[in-house]
Amino acid sequence: MDYKDTLNLPKTDFPMKANLTKKEVEMLEFWEKNHIYQKMQEKESQGSYILHDGPPYANGHIHLGHTLNKILKDMIVKYRTMKGYHSPYVPGWDCHGLPIEHQVDKELGAKKAETSILEKRRLCREYAQKFVDIQREEFKRLGVFGDWEKPYITMDYKYEASIVRELGRFVEKGYVYKGKKPVHWCPNCVTALAEAEVEYADKESPSIYVKFKVHDAQGKFASDSSKGTYFVIWTTTPWTIPANMALCLHPEFRYRIVKTPDGELIIAQDLIKVCMSKIGYREEEYTIASSDWSGSELEDIVCEHPWIDRKVKTILGGHVTTEQGTGIVHTAPGHGEEDYEIGLKYGLDVYAPVNDRGIFTDEVKDFEGQFVFKANEGIINMLKEKNALLGAPEKLTHSYPHCWRCKKPVIFRATEQWFISVEKNNLRENALEAIVKTEWIPKWGMGRIQGMIQNRPDWCISRQRSWGVPITLFRCKKCKDFITDSAVMHNIINEVAEAGADVWFEKPESDLIPKGYKCSKCGADDFQKESDILDVWFDSGVSHAAVLEEDPRLSSPADLYLEGSDQHRGWFQSSLLTSVATRGRAPYNSVLTHGFVVDGKGKKMSKSLGNVISPQDLSNKNGAEILRLWSASADYREDMRISNEIISRLVEAYRKIRNTSRFLLGNIHDFDSSVIFKKEDLIEIDRLAMSMLQHLIEKVDKAYETFAFHEVFHSIYSFCVIDMSSFYLDILKDRLYTFKTDSKERRSAQFVLYNILITLTKLIAPIISFTAEEIWNHIPGKSEESVFLSSFPKANKDFKDKEIEDKWHELLIIRNEVNKALEIKRQEKVIGNALEAKVSLFLDDANYKVI
């Protein structure tokens, strides 16, 4: 007799082996063929929940940072939709800017110089579109749902017209001005850079002390030295000394004269000993004068430039510190933000004798034609010759701004640029107020962006490149005024909406300005187009206007923006400023940030370290499902680690969740899902399992609601492995396999298993979407075509049973003690397994009652 025929063994065609790489492709076809995403949007909703996609840059294949970002967004959208919200996901792409233009220049090679601006723009558009298409397929491969055929793309004509329209609003409200100011300038890329386009990295710079001879002390002190009296500065940018216009002291610091063999040196009192030591003086080689002066008392003293025939004065500024240096700051308004600001107060010349390639112009005869960083050595030698260098130069490694694109050090250089004022109309203060009204997750995000807004300079929005939306302003050739008439701007908006931003470069001024238009100031009718293009952060920053307000699928403000923590200085900030300036509020209600992806040791991934892991390789080897599980496996609000070891652990965790689901499927094959049990009709341990399930629903729902996806994963994993496999399902096997097929005991168990399976599949759906859908397709009696068309589980209070939970809590404590005792006997080789043992329990009255 075959005893198998007497048992109710599990039956299911749900495979034990996932074969994810093959199954995922089939599932993608199922979703697309059956229009699952579209059907999700057609469901009745209780309201909307709008997550606005921050556009990735259309350059290159996606990396793990993109992967994490898109999967997190997908979890939220799927969860919200299953909760009954209308939560569409409209993906976007950022398509203008320097990286794409650089790639096109590289491909053009020698032809670059002879390529017209329109031809280059055409090639840039083609290049961007190619990677939009590539990235779209790579994101879809991850199981990310969205309206992929109707994304927003910043180079679309309609979007470009929105950019021009928003620029027009800034112009009309008086925020936009053109001025000569020092900005971050990349000599390699030959363009200005915004704060968000600057990355800080270590750089080795020369560290020198320089003395400026007092020419006229204005009667404030007399020199006792035949070698003269000098103000001493410290700098790590010797190349800026040719542009020195003043020496800045703090009004409240105390300064003293130090008598040395090289003359009398004026240094801040608190820094004398440190400075003298670094310069190389022994204590017996100098004496400190008894008299001291405040910085205010030393204002307007005339000094001599070390080698240029130029007189420079002492001025006062609150930015001077005693953290390092001499307490006296070498001030070159053409090469520093603080220098510029203090220079405005004193009417100093904004002098920057450096061209757009970082080369000294003929204004600096001694170093004409030299690149600024290479000129440092020559300038130091010049200072030595003029006896203006104190001590020996040193090398200092410090954090220094680098270009986000070419990774090379940038310079501060004063040029004519377009700016958005953050002071006009109280934009800075209004933005700070809007920050407080926004929910920031994690909470430290609020302090971070507040600090950035409080300290940021005016926004430099102009770029000297080809691929971007032009600054669509005209200058009157006669009176030199810029035209800010809204009628002119509206005319251009219509042109761009019709033919794209290329129209600015294709048509002459006369075809872009309304016929018969004359300058309101001088009456002339001859105009010149502005040649600069807009900062790409303005492009993406106005997406709230171009997308949220214009797309009927969406609404403004968004419920959530979700990006990496670097976007506090990028998209979060540009979006905030553009929205507050023109709408009076933030474009988002909540902002959620995730960390960066690092290797298993916490190191940043880089090709040079050889620790880069490709999401494409991981998907092809293990399946995108494992990447989805990884995204939910740890607290993404910190940096996310990934390594082969971490992936192996996740593969094992996935297998356990899958095997639990397979066991559940196998044991409900003959169960009628229309059969309903009340709590009181269930076997006691089944009542316990149903009560545990309600707690799981509550815990997971709360974790999803608070974006704590790692808590979702760990709760579900623990439920499957500890509560189910190691306890409930293990106990249940005898009843399922040996009791009569339609016995109450077996049906009671099956009712619970069916509820667990349906619930568990819905709970895991936002995270491991491919597997949840595969399980759903194998569940008998389910009504919805897709798990994503079903509703998220709600805890049923009728099945909560605290009395049973308390009782079984005590039982499990006793069980654990018994298991410990059995394990000792197993290790001592007294028994092989627990079934060989006879267990005697010695219990107190309370525990005896429980048993």
State both tokens at 235.
Answer: 């700098």
**Residue 848: pLDDT above 70?**
yes
* pLDDT tens profile 751-794: 999 999 999 999 999 999 999 999 999 999 898 999 999 999 99
**Residue 607: pLDDT above 80?**
no
Confidence of residue 839 (pLDDT cuts 50, 70, 90): confident
Of residues 563, 576, 467, 442, the one with CA closest to residue 126 = 467
pLDDT score, position 76: 98
* pLDDT tens profile 680-739: 999 999 999 999 999 999 999 999 999 999 999 999 999 999 999 988 998 999 899 999
Distance of alpha carbon 250 from alpha carbon 298, whole angstroms = 10
* pLDDT tens profile 375-398: 999 999 999 999 999 999 999 999
Confidence of residue 846 (pLDDT cuts 50, 70, 90): confident
Number of neighbours of residue 173 by Cβ within 10 angstroms: 13
Percent of the chain at pLDDT above 90?
Answer: 79
CB 587 within 8 A of CB 575: yes
**Residue 604: pLDDT above 90?**
no
pLDDT score, position 573: 96
CB 312 within 8 A of CB 242: no
State both tokens at 60.
Answer: 């290159």
* pLDDT tens profile 135-194: 999 999 999 999 999 999 999 999 999 999 999 999 999 999 999 889 899 999 988 888
pLDDT mean over 358-380: 95
**Residue 216: pLDDT above 90?**
yes
Confidence of residue 219 (pLDDT cuts 50, 70, 90): confident
* pLDDT tens profile 641-685: 999 999 999 999 999 999 999 999 999 999 998 889 999 999 999
pLDDT score, position 227: 87
How far CA 704 is from CA of 47, 482, 596, 639, 761, in Å, comes to: 18, 52, 21, 20, 15
pLDDT score, position 818: 85
Which of 239-243, 285-289, 839-843 is the most confident on average?
239-243
The secondary structure of the chain in percent helix, strand, coil, rounded to multiples of 5, reads: 45, 20, 35
pLDDT score, position 2: 64
Q: What is the dihedral of CA 542, 543, 546, 552, to 10 degrees?
A: -150
pLDDT score, position 840: 86
Structure-model confidence comparison of residues 379 and 842, the more confident one: 379
* Domains parsed from the chain with CATH numbers: 204-402 (3.90.740.10), 472-484+493-531 (no CATH), 811-850 (no CATH)
Sequence-separated (6 or more) residues with CB below 8 Å from residue 42: none
Of residues 197, 356, 230, 254, the one with CA closest to residue 302 = 230
pLDDT mean over 557-561: 98
- Give, rounded to a whole angstrom, the gap between the first and last alpha carbons of the chain: 38
pLDDT mean over 15-28: 95
pLDDT score, position 280: 92
Distance of alpha carbon 438 from alpha carbon 426, whole angstroms = 19
Phi, psi of 200 (to 5 degrees): -100, 130
* pLDDT tens profile 296-348: 999 999 999 999 999 999 999 999 999 999 999 999 999 998 999 899 899 99
Percent of the chain at pLDDT above 70?
Answer: 100
Mean pLDDT of the chain: 93
Of residues 554, 539, 540, the one with CA closest to residue 501 = 539
pLDDT mean over 3-13: 81
pLDDT score, position 631: 96
